C-alpha cells in the first residue's frame, strides 16, 4: 500500500523484547476487586463460586495459550508460567501483557454466568485485570516465585479467615476484629480461630489454604529437549497442546510437585 | 504482614515509567478480527453495527478514563490520546496497556448485545484486543500520528470498497478482484468504482471514509494551565470529567479541528 | 564473512534508542574525585588549574561532537546538551554514554599536563568518569535542568567556601567547621564568611559561583530550520561545526542567556 | 542541602537495572581503530606491541574490578565476564558501560608508553572505546558467547594474514589481494597462504590465532557457594581479589578450559 508522509511517527514506537531463554511469568490481577466483590455480594472470607470463575478462566487461558505450562492463582490473581523457549509474540512485553489481560477479562465474563446465573454483570462494575510480565533466569528463582505466591495466599487466607471468623462467629465489628488481630502471629491467629470461633484452621478447605494449581500433565515425557530433532519438537508441541490440564490444591513449595514434573523447569 | 524469604523475587520485576511531559497514545487493536468478522457475519466492506460497538466502547472508555482527551478509530482499532500531564498509574507502561486492553475487551462484550442481540458471542470466538503505548514529545508529532491513522483509514476503505464493489456489483471472484486492483492508484480505484460498480466514492458515508473521532468538548476553556493555581487545576479536572464527548466523522489532518480545540495539545 | 553457529548470541543484545525529537543531556561525573583531588593536592575550596582541565576537556569534546550545542560544568561534572534532531549513534543510549565517558577521560588526561606539568598522573589514581543520558521533551524542562545544575553549583560553592574559610582563616578543625555550618541558611553562611573570615562572597570569582558555560555562538542564525531545504541544512551543519565556542561564567537561570541564543532550544 | 524548585528534572532520569542472577558481559570496542592503527603505524596483519597494550589494559581492569572473572580479547575489542551474583553499581547499565569505557581508555593511554615509548599519543588521534553490556541467563549461552568471539578472531585473523601475506610476500595491491580472497573458504585461504606466501597458518603464533584469555585462577575452590555462610562469602571475595590472573592463548570453545575452572560458571 502507498505510504504517507506521516508514516515516520512509527519511529517513536518502542518494543521491549524479553530476554531469550528466561522463564516468563505473567501475573494478572483483578482491578478494584474489593468493590467488585461487594457489588456482587461474594461470600466472606472466600466465595467458592468466584474462585470457580477464576479457575475456569485460567484453565481456558491455558487452552488458548499452549506455551503456559503452569498457572497458580488465589483470590483475584493468577500467575502463568511460560516455558523457557516460548516465542509467543516474539516475547514482546506490551503484546504479552495486554493480550493476557484482555483474554483474562473476556473469559472471566463468559464464565461468570456459569457460576452466578442470577447475578448478571452490570456495566458499571465490570471485571477487569491488569497484567505484568517478569523474566526469571533460572529454575530456582521460578520455584521461589511460586512459593512466594503460595505463602502469600496462606498469610492472606489465615488473616481473612480469622477476621471474618471474629465478625461472623463472635459478632465483632470489623474495627474490633482488626484491632484484635493487630500484631498477632500465625500461631495466635490459629489459637483465636480455635478458641473463639471454634474453627480448626487445619480443617479448612485446601483450595482456600493452598490456592489453585493448574498444570499441564505429560505422559511419557522424556528429557533432553535441547537435542531433539525438529520432528520431535513438533511432536512435543502437539503433546503440549493435548496434555491434560489438571487442577490441584497442594503444596508447591516443597520438592515433590516439581520433581514429579520435570518438564516444567527444563 | 510478615514477609517470607521468597519476597526477594520481586527484585526481578521491571517497570517502564513513560517519560513525563510527553503525550501518550495508547492504541488498541482487535486480535484476529478477520476471522471474528466472518464468524459473526459482518457486512462487507463495512458493518455499521460493528462500528457502532467499537465507537460505543471507546466512548465508555473515555468516561472511565478522564485523562483521555481524544480518541480516533476505524475498523478494529482505536487510538486514545492521554493528556501531556497525565499521571495515570504513574505512567507505568505495562499497567497502562494491560488495563486499556482489558477495559476495551469487556466493554466491547457489553456493548455487543446492543447491536447484535441475535448473535450472542460464543466462547470460541471472543473479542480480544492487544494494546501498545507510544510517547510523543510534542504536538506536531501527535497531529502527524492522528493524520497517519486517518490516511490509513482512507487507504484501507478505498481498497475495501473497491474490492467488495467488484465482488458484489460485478460478480468478480475475490481472486479476480484482488488482481484487478493490484498496482492501482487512488484515482484508478475511484474510476473502477464509478464506471464498473456505479459507486461515487465521494458519496460514501463519512464514517467509513474518515473514521470516528471522539473528543472531549470544553466550553469556556482558558489557556495557561501551567500557571493555574491548585484550585483552578481541580476545577479543570472536574471540567474534564464533565465535558461532553462528541462523536465526529471529519477531517483531522488539516488545522481546523485542532485550532478549534486548543485544549487538546497544550 | 561466514557465520558461525554461535552467532545467535547476538539476539541477547538490547538497544535503547532514545526517543526522537527530545533533547538529550549527557552528564559526565568524575569517579572518586574526592580522593583524586587529595592525591594531586588540589587547592581548596576551588583549584583554578583543575577547573581549567575540566573546561578545556569539555571544549575539546564540543569540537569532537558538533551535535553538542551547550555544555555546563562545575567541580568534577559536565552536562552536554545535544540538539533535538541529533542522530548521533542513532541515539543509542549505551553507545552515547560509553563514548562520552571515554572521550572525557582521555581528553582530561591529555589536558592534565598543560595545567599540572609537575604532577604527572600516576596509574594508581586515574581520572575516570561515568556518564548518563537523559531525555528532555521540551525546552522549558531543558532550561530547568541547567538551572538545577547552576543552583547546585552555587549551593555547593557557598558551603565549600564557608567550610574552608573557617578552616583556613579561623583555624577551625574540619569537624568544628562542619558543626558550625550545620543547619545554616545561605544568608547565615554569607554572614559567617564576612564577619569571621573577612570574605565577601559577592566578590568571589564568577567561575566559582556560576560554574562554566560553553556555548556554540552562531552569527547570522535564522529561525525556521524545520522548513529548510536539504542544502540549507548542510550549510547549518557546517556553520555548527565552525561556530565559535565561547566560555562564559554567567547566569543561565534567567531568560537573557537563552533569549539571546534562540538556536539552542528550537 | 536545600532543594531547589528545579529538582523535579531528576524525574526524567531512567535506569536500566540489569536482571539479577544473569551473567553480564561487557564488551569494549575501539573507536576508529582502523585509522588509529594507521596513525601509529601498527605492523600488519598483527602488531605485537599493540596487542600487549590491550592485554595489559585488560589485566589492569581485572585488578580494578574484582567482579570480572574472565576476559577475552583480540584486535581492538575485549569482553569482560562479570560473575552472576555481581552487584557492581547495582547492575545499572549506563553506569557499567560508561565506567568500563572510561577505565579502558585511560588505562590504554597509560600502558601505551610501555610499548610505544617513541610514539607519544597525539591529541588528534586518541584511543577511545565504546562499551555495551549484555545479559546472558545461563552458562551454556555464556560459553557460546565466548565461542562466538573466538571464532570471529580466527575468521578475521585468517583473512588478514592472507590479505597482508599477498601484499607483503607477493606484492599484490590491496585491491588485487581483496579480489583474490573474495569468495574463498578457510581451506582456500590456507592453501593460498601456503603455496603463494610460504606461510603455514598452523605455525602462526597462538596469540594471533586464538586471541587472549585472561582468567582468575583459584586454588582450593570449592563448590556450593549458594549455601556458604556470610563469613565464607567474604573469604571468597577476598580470594577473588587475590587470585592470580593468568594470560592464555588457548581454545575456549571446547570443554577443557571450562571444566578445569568450575568457578567461572556457577
Q: Which residues of B are annotated as a binding site for Mg(2+)?
A: 29-30, 76
Counted residue by residue, chain A has a size of 266
Check A106 against B100: CB less than 8 A apart: no
Residue with cell 572525557: C104
| Calpha distance B65→C31 (Å, rounded) | 46
> Which residues does chain B have within 8 Å of residue D11's beta carbon, measured at their own beta carbons?
20
Label residue C42 by pLDDT band (50, 70, 90). very high
> Which residues does chain A have within 8 Å of residue C12's beta carbon, measured at their own beta carbons?
19-20
pLDDT of residue C222: 72
* Residue from B65, B106, B136, B157 to probe the interface with A (highest A Cβ count within 10 Å): B106
Tens-digit pLDDT profile for residues C227-241: 667 777 777 778 887
Taking the Cβ of residue B14 and every Cβ of chain D, the question of whether any pair is shorter than 8 Å is answered with yes
Q: Is the pLDDT of residue B2 over 60?
A: no
Question: Degrees (nearest 5) of the Cα angle C146, C148, C150?
Answer: 70
Minimal Cβ distance to C20: which of A12, A17, A20: A12
> Which residues does chain D have within 8 Å of residue C100's beta carbon, measured at their own beta carbons?
98
D236 compared with C151, residue with greater pLDDT: C151
- Whole-angstrom CA distances from A210 to A34, A98, B210, C119 are 21, 28, 54, 69
pLDDT of residue A221: 75
Check C4 against D98: CB less than 8 A apart: no
pLDDT of residue C215: 98
Residue with cell 509467543: A88
Count H helices and E strands in chain D, helices first. Answer: 9, 6
pLDDT of residue B224: 58
Please give the average per-residue pLDDT across C27-42, as a whole number: 98
Query: Is A49 within 8 Å of A116 (Cβ atoms)?
Result: yes
Label residue B159 by pLDDT band (50, 70, 90). very high
Query: Is C132 within 8 Å of D167 (Cβ atoms)?
Result: no
Per DSSP, the residues of chain C read: ----TTGGGGGG----BPPTTSEEEEEEEESSHHHHHHHTT--SS--HHHHHHHHHHHHHHHHH-TTEEEEEEETTEEEEEEPTT--GGGGBHHHHHHHHHHHHHHHHHHHHHHH-TTSPPPTTS---EEEEEEEE-SHHHHHHHHHHHHHHHHHHHHHHHHHHHHHHHH---HHHHHHHHTT--HHHHHHHHHHHH---GGGS-HHHHH-EEEEEEPSS--S-GGG--HHHHHHHHHHHHHSEEEEE-S--SSSHHHHT-TTTT-
B233 compared with D32, residue with greater pLDDT: D32
pLDDT of residue C156: 97
Q: How far is D109 from chain C (nearest CA, A)?
A: 7
Max mean pLDDT range (B116-125, B229-238, D238-247): B116-125
pLDDT of residue C228: 66
Check B19 against C138: CB less than 8 A apart: no
Residue A46 is given by DSSP the state: -
The response to whether C74 counts as a known ligand-binding position is: no
Ordered strands of the C129-136 beta sheet: C129-136, C23-30, C77-82, C68-74, C212-217, C244-248
Q: Is the pLDDT of residue C225 over 70?
A: no
pLDDT of residue C234: 79
How buried is residue C236: exposed, middle or buried, by Cβ count under 10 Å (0-12/13-18/19+)? middle
Round the average pLDDT of chain C to a whole number and report it: 94
* Neighbours, chain B (3 or more CB pairs < 8 A): A, C, D
Q: Identify the weakest region by mean pLDDT among C222-231, D75-84, D122-131, D214-223.
A: C222-231
Minimal Cβ distance to B20: which of D12, D17, D20: D12
Percentage with pLDDT > 90 across chain C: 88
| Calpha distance B126→A162 (Å, rounded) | 40
pLDDT of residue C229: 73
b/e per residue B132-166 (b: at least 16 CB within 10 A): bbbbbbbeebbbbbbbbbbbbbbbbbbbebbbbbb
Q: Strands B212-217 and B23-30: what pairing? A: unpaired
| Calpha distance B182→A1 (Å, rounded) | 10
Per DSSP, the residues of B115-127 read: H-TTSPPPTTS--
Tens-digit pLDDT profile for residues D193-240: 999 999 999 999 999 999 999 999 987 777 655 566 777 777 777 888
pLDDT of residue A191: 96
Here the cell at position C155 is 549551593
| Calpha distance B27→B101 (Å, rounded) | 9
Q: Is the pLDDT of residue B103 over 70?
A: yes
| Calpha distance A76→A65 (Å, rounded) | 20
> Which residues does chain A have within 8 Å of residue D20's beta carbon, measured at their own beta carbons?
137
Name the C residues in 112-141 with CB < 8 Å from any B CB. 135, 137-138, 141
pLDDT of residue D224: 58
Percentage with pLDDT > 90 across chain D: 88
A233 compared with D2, residue with greater pLDDT: A233
Name the D residues in 32-91 with CB < 8 Å from any C CB. 60
Beta strands in chain A (DSSP E): 23-30, 68-74, 77-82, 129-136, 212-217, 244-248
> Which residues does chain A have within 8 Å of residue B107's beta carbon, measured at their own beta carbons?
123, 126
Q: How far is C103 from chain A (nearest CA, A)?
A: 29
pLDDT of residue C224: 58
pLDDT of residue C226: 53
pLDDT of residue C236: 75
A187 compared with B243, residue with greater pLDDT: A187
pLDDT of residue A223: 67
3-class secondary structure, A42: coil
pLDDT of residue D120: 96
Label residue B222 by pLDDT band (50, 70, 90). confident
pLDDT of residue D242: 82
> Which residues does chain C have within 8 Å of residue B137's beta carbon, measured at their own beta carbons?
19-22, 137-138
Query: Is C59 within 8 Å of C215 (Cβ atoms)?
Result: no
Minimal Cβ distance to C134: which of D13, D121, D152: D13
Q: Least CA distance to C135: which residue of chain D?
A: D12
Label residue B105 by pLDDT band (50, 70, 90). very high
Sign, CA torsion B97/B102/B107/B113: positive
pLDDT of residue C227: 60
> Which residues in chain A land under pLDDT 70?
1-2, 223-228
* Neighbours, chain A (3 or more CB pairs < 8 A): B, C, D
Q: Which residues of D are annotated as a binding site?
A: 29-34, 75-76
Q: Least CA distance to C19: which residue of chain A?
A: A12
Round the average pLDDT of chain B to a whole number and report it: 94
Check B21 against C135: CB less than 8 A apart: no
Q: Least CA distance to D20: which residue of chain B?
A: B12
Q: Identify the weakest region by mean pLDDT among A175-184, A236-245, B65-74, D163-172.
A: A236-245
Q: For the beta carbon of residue A34, count every other beta carbon within 10 angstroms.
A: 10
Please give the average per-residue pLDDT across D3-20, as a whole number: 95
| Calpha distance A6→A4 (Å, rounded) | 5
Round the average pLDDT of chain D to a whole number and report it: 94
Q: Which residues of B are annotated as a binding site for GTP?
A: 29-34, 75-76
pLDDT of residue B226: 53
The backbone torsions φ and ψ at residue A216, rounded to the nearest 5 degrees and listed phi first, read -75, 120
Label residue D262 by pLDDT band (50, 70, 90). very high
- What is the rounded radius of gyration, in angstroms, for the C-alpha atoms of chain D? 21
pLDDT of residue B117: 96
- pTM confidence score: 0.95
The CB-based long-range contact list for D206-210 (8 Å cut-off, 24+ gap) reads D206/D249, D206/D250, D207/D48, D207/D51, D207/D249, D208/D45, D208/D46, D208/D157, D208/D161, D209/D153, D209/D154, D209/D157, D209/D249, D210/D150, D210/D153, D210/D154, D210/D249, D210/D250, D210/D251
Tens-digit pLDDT profile for residues B13-56: 999 999 999 999 999 999 999 999 999 999 999 999 999 999 99
Amino acid at each position: 500500500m502507498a505510504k504517507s508522509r506521516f508514516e515516520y511517527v512509527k519511529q517513536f514506537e518502542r518494543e521491549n523484547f524479553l530476554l531469550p531463554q528466561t522463564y516468563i511469568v505473567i501475573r494478572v490481577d483483578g482491578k478494584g476487586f474489593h468493590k467488585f466483590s461487594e457489588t456482587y455480594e461474594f461470600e466472606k472470607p472466600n466465595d467458592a463460586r468466584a474462585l470457580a470463575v477464576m479457575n475456569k478462566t485460567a484453565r481456558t487461558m491455558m487452552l488458548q495459550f499452549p506455551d503456559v505450562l503452569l498457572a497458580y492463582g488465589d483470590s483475584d490473581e493468577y500467575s502463568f508460567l511460560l516455558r523457557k523457549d516460548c516465542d509467543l509474540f516474539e516475547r514482546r512485553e506490551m503484546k504479552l501483557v495486554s493480550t493476557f489481560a484482555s483474554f483474562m477479562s473476556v473469559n472471566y465474563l463468559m464464565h461468570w454466568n456459569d457460576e452466578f446465573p442470577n447475578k448478571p454483570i452490570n456495566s458499571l462494575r465490570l471485571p477487569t485485570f491488569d497484567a505484568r510480565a517478569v523474566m526469571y533466569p533460572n529454575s530456582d528463582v521460578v520455584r521461589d516465585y511460586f512459593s512466594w505466591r503460595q505463602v502469600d495466599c496462606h498469610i492472606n487466607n489465615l488473616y481473612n479467615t480469622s477476621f471474618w471468623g471474629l465478625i461472623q462467629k463472635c459478632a465483632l465489628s470489623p474495627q474490633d476484629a482488626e484491632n484484635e488481630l493487630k500484631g498477632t502471629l500465625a500461631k495466635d491467629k490459629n489459637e483465636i480461630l480455635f478458641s473463639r470461633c471454634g474453627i480448626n484452621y487445619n480443617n479448612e478447605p485446601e483450595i482456600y489454604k493452598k490456592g489453585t494449581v493448574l498444570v499441564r500433565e505429560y505422559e511419557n515425557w522424556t528429557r533432553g529437549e535441547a537435542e531433539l530433532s525438529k520432528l520431535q519438537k513438533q511432536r512435543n508441541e502437539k503433546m503440549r497442546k493435548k496434555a491434560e490440564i489438571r487442577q490441584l490444591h497442594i503444596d508447591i513449595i516443597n520438592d515433590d510437585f516439581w520433581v514429579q514434573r520435570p518438564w516444567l523447569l527444563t
